[in-house]
């Protein structure tokens, strides 16, 4: 019988309250505690839970992290300080009775000369001894500076030992053993390890095949909203394997809770997938009993900010005319980059202060788009990122499961100020990675050109 990570007594990790799942293709559930988007000052966090065997005790290990960018800092004796508290509760399967709880806090100090980072984090880890069964994990983060809280509920099953084959979700760690909680990580993280835990009947060995593959996916910049070429209406995003960086096959016996890990070679910025196939040798020749996947996106260490001119020039594609863009693009990586960059902003604005304010506003929105809308692309390259950069915050957003409608004017008949984004279909990708495509219309062109002209005069919408 073919199993997956939500069947046959395997670890369940999903948002509490969702219907129990026994169908096919539910591997995305392992990302239920993770996020690809954050907003400044909103205390969002990533979380993961897994079975653990520590000091001879079986239980659940919970790891949580929140980035600096999601916290509020207060000036304190020449530095900036953020303080957070964590509460982790183990509840029964109904979510009503508290069986155990752990709490802890973090204080983060940083200089006033550097901004908050997506990759510097406050983190906490708790071990909850527990016997086999179904449970709910409640995690609460409180930002003590702002008084804001964020709560997340995860449902988890700790499997019994006597099952024939039990495999937990696929985790990632640094070479030092620190958990990698999240999908976006800095490209300076160094060597990476994949980890999962295996248990069951010890007389039945398994064969494990682990792969690390680099993915080839469209990371081109968003086209103008009035573009009506082939991209319009195309809602499928193709993801291809461009290179296999690591492949290893091993045979393991099952035990009380065996830790299975693989160490991968150093990788560059890009998008990767870890794939694990586990064959039960008791039924030789059958399809893999379990298949695990984990996506990981390596970003530059200063992400979501852009600072080098190689990063500052590309987002100007939304403002530059064709000839201007050719000049700007050709200067990337050369000594002319700074001059071309300054010249672009100074060409239409003789007031240096106005130009400076326009540049600050534009690139603060680029950074905001990276935080909010990144998927496989950096956020500024996405359709939602493009609209956010040029137009700023919408008045309100109407959301459904597969679409978002952004309104920049109240109901006054101005359709050019309303933008609909439809969710793209991406097979075999985790639910947390959501890519939206704008419904483009030719009538956007006049309005859009007026908007870019305002930017070039230093008038920021």
Least confident of 45-59, 219-233, 388-402: 219-233
Residue the block writes with tokens 């929105």? 365
Is pLDDT of 27 > 70?
no
Give the C-alpha separation, 40 to 278, whole Å.
41
pLDDT (tens digit per residue) in 393-429: 999 999 998 899 999 987 655 667 899 999 987 766 7
CA atoms within 13 A on the CB side of 159: 27
Least confident of 21-30, 283-292, 296-305, 450-459: 21-30
**232: helix, coil or strand?**
coil
Is pLDDT of 5 > 50?
no
Mean pLDDT (the chain, rounded): 85
Q: Which residues pair with 270 in a beta bridge?
A: 298
Q: Which residues pair with 99 in a beta bridge?
A: none
Q: Quick one: average pLDDT of 26-50?
A: 79
Residue the block writes with tokens 């409608």? 405
pLDDT at 284: 63
pLDDT (tens digit per residue) in 255-286: 777 889 999 987 888 899 999 999 888 766 67
Q: Which residues pair with 436 in a beta bridge?
A: 423
Give the C-alpha separation, 421 to 372, whole Å.
15
Is 84:105 a contact under the CB 8 Å cutoff? yes
Alpha helices in 162-312, H assignment, sequence order: 309-312
Is pLDDT of 226 > 90?
yes
CATH topology for 1-159 is Immunoglobulin-like (2.60.40)
pLDDT over 90 percentage in the chain:
54
Q: Which helix (H) or strand (E) holds 258?
A: strand 258-264
What residue segments make up the domains of the chain, in order of their start?
Answer: 1-159, 309-456
Least confident of 75-84, 162-171, 191-200: 162-171
pTM for this prediction: 0.86
pLDDT at 356: 92
Q: Which helix (H) or strand (E) holds 452?
A: helix 444-456
pLDDT (tens digit per residue) in 352-392: 899 999 999 999 999 999 999 999 899 999 999 999 999 99
Q: What are the residues whose beta carbons fall under 8 Å from the beta carbon of 450, sequence distance 6 or more?
A: none
């Amino acid at each position: 019988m073919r199993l997956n990570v939500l069947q046959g007594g395997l670890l369940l990790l999903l948002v509490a309250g969702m219907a129990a799942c026994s169908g096919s293709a539910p591997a995305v559930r392992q990302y239920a505690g993770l996020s690809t988007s954050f907003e400044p000052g909103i205390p969002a966090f990533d979380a993961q839970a897994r079975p653990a065997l520590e000091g001879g005790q079986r239980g659940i290990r919970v790891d949580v992290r929140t980035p600096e960018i999601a916290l509020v800092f207060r000036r304190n004796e020449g530095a900036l300080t953020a303080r957070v508290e964590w509460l982790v509760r183990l509840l029964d399967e109904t979510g009503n009775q508290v069986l155990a709880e752990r709490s802890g806090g973090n204080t983060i100090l940083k200089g006033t000369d550097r901004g908050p980072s997506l990759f510097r984090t406050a983190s906490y880890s708790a071990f909850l001894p527990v016997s086999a069964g179904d449970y709910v994990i409640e995690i609460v983060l409180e930002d003590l500076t702002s008084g804001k809280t964020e709560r997340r509920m995860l449902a988890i099953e700790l499997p019994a030992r006597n099952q024939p084959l039990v495999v937990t979700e696929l985790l990632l760690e640094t070479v030092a053993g620190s958990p990698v909680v999240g999908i976006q990580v800095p490209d300076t993280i160094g060597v990476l390890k994949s980890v999962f835990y295996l248990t069951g009947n010890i007389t039945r060995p398994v064969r494990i095949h682990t792969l690390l593959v680099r993915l080839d996916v469209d990371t081109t910049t968003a086209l103008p909203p009035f573009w009506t070429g082939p991209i319009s209406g195309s809602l499928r995003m193709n993801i291809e394997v461009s290179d296999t960086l690591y492949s290893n096959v091993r045979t393991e016996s099952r035990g009380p809770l065996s830790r299975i890990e693989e160490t991968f070679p150093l990788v560059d910025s890009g998008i990767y997938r870890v794939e694990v196939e586990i064959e039960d040798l008791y039924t030789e020749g059958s399809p893999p009993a379990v298949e695990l996947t984990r996506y990981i996106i390596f970003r530059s260490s200063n992400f979501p900010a852009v600072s080098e001119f190689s990063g500052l020039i590309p987002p100007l594609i939304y403002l530059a005319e064709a000839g201007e863009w050719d000049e700007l693009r050709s200067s990337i990586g050369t000594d002319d980059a700074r001059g071309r960059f300054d010249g672009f902003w100074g060409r239409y604005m003789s007031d240096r202060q106005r130009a400076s304010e326009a540049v600050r506003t534009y690139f603060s929105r680029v950074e905001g788009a990276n935080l909010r809308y990144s998927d496989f692309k950096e956020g500024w390259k996405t359709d939602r990122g493009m609209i956010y950069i040029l137009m700023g915050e919408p008045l309100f957003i109407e959301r459904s499961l597969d679409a978002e409608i952004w309104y920049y004017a109240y109901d006054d008949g101005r359709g050019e100020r309303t933008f609909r984004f439809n969710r793209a279909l991406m097979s075999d990708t985790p639910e947390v990675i959501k890519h939206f495509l704008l419904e483009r219309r030719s009538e956007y062109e006049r309005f859009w050109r007026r908007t870019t002209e305002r930017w070039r005069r230093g008038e920021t919408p």
